[in-house]
């Protein structure tokens, strides 16, 4: 992969920054593009002096004219707090962003990977979710800007593949966690950890029986890179996630144990259209990528807790002031 020129949209975000770091370690030239709506410069500050790293502030809803060999399209707010803040812009980021990046890939004949999501399955009535499942999605609910935006992006990718023979890769990412998560993004792992470290009540929405499957970020990045480097005959979509399933109550209790917190658990009303179950069927990832998650929940949580503990201490502020 030496000297491969790679564009990462959303490159200063949680996943994007880890991907940029991995690609540099693999010998690539990396162009990180971000409008910093949810991405943070601090996530990639340690890369700014790297001779093969370049940062460009740009919104993917506008065309981009650069020269690259590969494109990882990760640009889109991915947590409910952020994608519901400006739902119209969220949909435009998924749809217009996909159109612009696909147009760029078409001009360059570059290989392009779409970071899709398990949210394309909605609130599933099949468990675990295989790639052949079409989903159970509310097209007009408060989460639709993200769910349907990502579904439409997948449609565009496959239409470009069929109509223009574009070299596409589509990955459906399930819940991922790790260092550089935004502490105020409303995702369950970061929420629980910040609350536990600060001694605040841990808030569970619903009765805590709803389940998620948590994949550590390093495992996820490995899958993205493997997917990009598969042959042109394999487009996906392919599920990437850790099939080990935990209830929200189990996760909260594990984080309390690992942090030594005395936080109590409180229950609040479940948000509209919140999925009751989420677990990937990763048989295809095992077959095509030779991949499965290798980081245990305890090991991943310990690394993530250490990251948030350092940030809270260094900023000497309340968790809500972290940005």
> Residue 21 is inside which H or E element, if any?
helix 14-25
- The three-state secondary structure class of 247 is strand
Phi/psi at 313 (5° precision): -70, -40
Long-range interactions of 49-57: CB distance < 8 A, separation 24+? 50/24, 52/24, 52/27, 52/28, 53/20, 53/24, 54/29, 54/30, 55/11, 55/12, 56/31, 56/32, 57/33
Of 283, 180, 189, residue with least CA distance to 241 = 283
H-run or E-run covering 29: strand 29-34
Give catalytic residues, as residue numbers.
146
DSSP state for residue 141 in the 8-state scheme: S
Residue linked to tokens 């605040």: 200
Burial 79-92 (b: 16+ CB within 10 A, else e): bbebbbeebebbbb
Cis omega before residue 237 (within 30°)? Answer: yes
**Closest by CA position to 112, among listed 124, 121, 102, 100:** 102
Beta-carbon-side half-sphere exposure of residue 199 (alpha carbons within 13 Å): 1
Rounded Cα distance between 245 and 24, Å, is 32
Instruction: Tell me if 311 sits within 8 A of 322, measured CB to CB.
Output: yes
């Amino acid at each position: 992969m030496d000297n491969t020129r790679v564009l990462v949209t959303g490159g200063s975000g949680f996943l994007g920054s880890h991907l940029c770091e991995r690609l540099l370690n693999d010998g690539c030239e990396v162009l990180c593009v971000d409008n910093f709506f949810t991405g943070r410069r601090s996530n990639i500050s340690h890369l700014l002096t790297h001779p093969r790293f370049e940062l460009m502030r740009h919104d993917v809803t506008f065309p981009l004219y650069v020269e690259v060999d590969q494109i990882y399209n990760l640009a889109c707010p991915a947590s409910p707090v952020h994608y519901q803040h400006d739902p119209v812009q969220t949909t435009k980021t998924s749809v217009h962003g996909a159109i612009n990046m696909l147009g760029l890939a078409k001009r360059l004949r570059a290989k392009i990977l779409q970071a899709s999501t398990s949210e394309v399955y909605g609130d599933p009535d099949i468990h675990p979710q295989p790639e052949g499942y079409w989903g159970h999605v509310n097209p007009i609910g408060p989460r639709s800007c993200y769910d349907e935006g990502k579904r439409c992006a997948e449609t565009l990718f496959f239409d470009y593949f069929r109509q223009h023979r574009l070299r596409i890769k589509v990955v459906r990412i399930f819940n991922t966690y790790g260092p550089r998560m935004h502490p105020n993004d409303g995702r369950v792992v970061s929420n629980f950890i910040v609350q536990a470290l600060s001694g605040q009540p841990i808030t569970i929405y619903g009765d805590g029986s709803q389940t998620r499957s948590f994949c550590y970020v390093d495992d996820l990045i490995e899958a993205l890179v493997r997917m990009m480097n598969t042959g042109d005959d394999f487009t996906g979509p392919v599920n990437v996630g850790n099939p080990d399933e935990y209830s929200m109550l189990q996760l909260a209790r594990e984080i309390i144990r690992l942090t030594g917190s005395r936080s109590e658990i409180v229950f609040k009303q479940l948000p509209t259209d919140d999925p009751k179950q989420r677990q990937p069927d990763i048989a295809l990832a095992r077959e095509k990528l030779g991949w499965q998650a290798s980081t245990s929940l305890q090991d991943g949580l310990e690394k993530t807790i250490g990251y948030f503990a350092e940030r809270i201490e260094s900023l000497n502020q309340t968790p809500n002031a972290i940005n």
